[in-house]
Structure 1
Amino acid sequence: MKKKLLLLATGGTIASLQGDMGLAPSMEPDELLSFVDKIPPLYQLDSKLLMNIDSTNMQPESWIIIAEAIRDHYAQYDGFVITHGTDTMAYTSAALSYLLQKGSKPIVLTGSQVPMSFEPTDAKRNLQDAIRFACEEINGVFVVFDGRVIQGTRAVKVKTKSYDAFESINHPYIGYVDGTQVTYPFEKPINDNQPLVCDTSLCTNVLVVKIYPGFHPDILDYPLHHHYKGVIIESFGSGGIPILGRNLLPKIEKLLDAGIAVVITTQCLEEGEDLHLYEVGRKIVEKSIIHTRNMNTEAIVAKLMWVLGKTHQPAEVKKMMETPIAYDRAER
């Protein structure tokens, strides 16, 4: 049966044209589709322009616009394709995984490293692959890029120019797209066929702090509780916190006492944190710290905003953050 798909365009490199000040998103979705080889037996495709921005300008409020557009058109279409800039695509794919849960249809994000109107370009293949995967009987949010299908909460941009810009971090690739063929390296995920749940309440008062040798603890004396409800600390290795010299523990305790959710993650892309491994981690385990296991920072940011949009109660925030959603973290 022919699938009915909706393309939602948001701008990005894929839609950019050369201007006096450099590349800027300018192409309409119908222009993008004019470059793509159609597969008439498989699908019928409609399109809608939501915004035409560089993804550097993508904001949480933009995530809500995208999510509500999918919600509003969910009954009319079998799948959705979102064209998006690459720089913040991983944040958006993670955010949509929380804003739009359950459901019975694929929501597929893609973009390109080179504009559609350039030659050569990766844009044609990526858009064709995304459209093809949106025809699959599968539910969830995915990134399709360079022939690879990545779970929405596991995509990370690791290269600035190369076509294979995205990798699936700490999670297997969902599948691969080659022309009209989709293959799954493991068993194809089961489509739960549940009603879509759209919850777009967000609290954007979240701060990410990257620790480095010489990081001064007094930075955390800034009255964060007046401006932020959650702080994500990207620490070293398995998640250890400096406890000698520039000791961060007292400052973290003050944040917790002020009711701020404190999340510990690692700067390492692969394998995740394990605060129980070293003394510098165990000293913080005793606190009401939120553990991230092997989540990536993009997913942590989006999930914390989503959780804080529902509650500021520390115990509840911790419970929700540490509960896996959309395969965003290992249970153990």
Structure 2
Amino acid sequence: MRLKKILFITTGGTIACVRTPQGLRPVLSSGELLAHLPGLAELCQPDTLALCSIDSTDMSPAHWLDMARAIEENYDRYDGFILCHGTDTLAYTAAALSYLVQNAAKPIILTGSQQPISNEITDAKKNLRDSVICALDPRSHGVMVVFGGLVIAGTRAKKNKTISYDAFASVNFPHLAQVQGDRLVHYIQTPLPEGPVQFSHALDQRVFLLKLTPGMRPDLLPAIFQLYDCVIVESFGAGGIPESLMEGFARGLGRYEDTHKVLIMTTQVTYEGSDVGIYEVGRRVKDQFAFLEAHDMTIEAVITKSMWLLAQKCDHFQELQEKFYRQINFDTFYH
């Protein structure tokens, strides 16, 4: 039986770090990284591609496009892809790739670690090996995060611990599977996609996340709407905008067909999502503005989906609305 060909795409991150006088720095090459898994060649045919070597704090949409391009260029040559990534922005990258690479019948897995792979005690080797087990499973497909033994849909992952090995949670959706030794136990069974894989090649970065704080001044809004075309409001609780900010939003947004300015409402609360309209502070937003609501989506998915969506240049708000609410990789259950 032919061993499956897996392409390991390395980007740096803690998993590739060594200690320096300036702190942990990602310097291990892709070959040095995989050398810490001596039995790898018995499981698959591994190849490596070093895309960059950075702390994931420096990750940007340009890097996401490079990753998607690398997968597209190598898609027909490999049975699966494993991206080694720093943990701090891994959830953003997983969500972005979910929109940039859709309908993939092959697994595209992101993983990393809380401790460098060269440490005597580390979670890196397990996470990397678990990713291989997941990639080799014939039922695995699409963008996923494998970390701490869990398999999480690319749009549902969130880092919620800074030190512990179980650093990622699946937000508002069950995790897809769990790695138990050499076995993958599936909890969410999805059929392989029909039709060809679809790649996107553009993201529009004019997206701003505004986290509401009590007493926020309205005079910052004109500058935001001047620089950005999409403003995501992380509101309190179920959702709403303070009365003091309503006039500023009205001036900044205008009519979508005239300004192409987009308002997206979400919540600062991690679990259970937003429901603008429960309270009067939300109903006045519904009465005055045409807006999109994130409901149960993670903020990482909302930001990256907005960048992907803005790049498509929707002429009418209804078209924008339809595309935003279309489910991609389990990102939303709004109907």
| Deviations 1:146-170 (CA, angstroms, capped at 9, x unpaired) | 0000000000000111101100000
Cα distance in structure 2, aligned partners of 1:185 and 1:303: 26
Task: Give the match for residue 326 of structure 1.
Answer: 329
**d(CA) in 2 for partners of 1:60, 1:264:** 22
1:256 corresponds to which of 248, 253, 257: 253
1:253 and 1:268 map into 2 onto residues whose CA distance is 25
Q: 1:219: Cα distance to partner?
A: 1.3
> Separation in 2 of the partners of 1:133 and 1:156?
19
d(CA) in 2 for partners of 1:322 and 1:104? 23
Which structure 2 residues correspond to residues 153-302 of structure 1 after superposition, within 5 A?
153-186=155-188, 188-222=189-223, 224-243=224-243, 247-257=244-254, 258-286=259-287, 287-302=289-304
Q: CA deviation at 1:259?
A: 3.2
CA distance in 2, matches of 1:179, 1:250: 57
Aligned amino acid, residue 182 of structure 2: T
Q: CA deviation at 1:25?
A: 0.5
Q: Which amino acid aligns with 1:325?
A: I
Give the match for residue 58 of structure 1. Answer: 59
1:68 corresponds to which letter in structure 2? R
What count of residue pairs does the alignment treat as equivalent? 327
| Greater share of helix | 2
TM-score normalised by the chain length of structure 2: 0.94
Is contact 1:95-1:302 (8 Å) kept?
A: yes
3-state SS, counterpart of residue 9 of structure 1: strand
- SS of the aligned residue for 1:96 comes to helix
3-state secondary structure, aligned to 1:300:
helix
User: Can you list the C-alpha shifts for 1:309-332, whole angstroms capped at 9, x where unaligned?
Assistant: 111535032332222211101124
Shift in Å at residue 37 of structure 1? 4.5
Distance apart, 1:193 and its partner CA: 4.7
Residues 40-189 of structure 1 aligned to structure 2 (within 5 Å): 40-137=41-138, 138-186=140-188, 188-189=189-190
Are the aligned partners of 2:95 and 2:304 in contact in 1 as well (CA < 8 Å)?
Answer: yes
Output the amino acid matched with 1:94. A
Do 2:225 and 2:253's aligned partners in 1 also have CA atoms closer than 8 Å?
no
What is the distance in 2 between the residues matched to 1:325 and 1:148?
20
Q: Post-superposition shift, 1:19?
A: 1.1
- Structure 1 distance, partners of 2:190, 2:36, is 31
Query: Hey, what's the Cα distance between the residues in 2 that align with 1:132 and 1:72?
Result: 24
1:224-264 per-position Cα deviation (integer Å, ceiling 9, x unaligned): 34321111110010112222xxx222122122214311111
Q: Is the 8 A contact 2:40 2:46 kept in 1?
A: no
1:86-129 CA-partner distances (Å, limit 9, x unpaired): 00000000000000000210000000000001121000000000
Secondary structure, in 3 states, of the residue corresponding to 2:136? coil
Q: Which of these residues, 304, 311, 314, is aligned with residue 313 of structure 2?
A: 311
> Which moves more between the two structures, 193-202 or 87-96?
193-202
SS in 2 for 1:134: helix
Residue type of the alignment partner of 1:326:
N
Q: Secondary structure at the match of 2:70?
A: helix
TM-score, normalization: structure 1? Answer: 0.95
Do 2:208 and 2:228's aligned partners in 1 also have CA atoms closer than 8 Å?
A: yes
CA contact (8 A) 1:139 1:193 kept: no
Q: Runs (4+) of structure 1 moved beyond 3 Å?
A: 39-42
Amino acid at match of 2:183: Q
Q: Which letter maps to 2:313?
A: T
Matched residue SS, 2:108: strand
Q: Quote the offset at 1:36 in angstroms.
A: 1.5
The alpha carbon displacement at 1:131 in A equals: 1.2
CA distance in 1, matches of 2:25, 2:214: 38
Supply the distance in 2 between the matched residues of 1:13 and 1:314 (Cα, whole angstroms).
Answer: 43
Percent identity between matched residues is: 42
Cα-Cα RMSD: 1.4
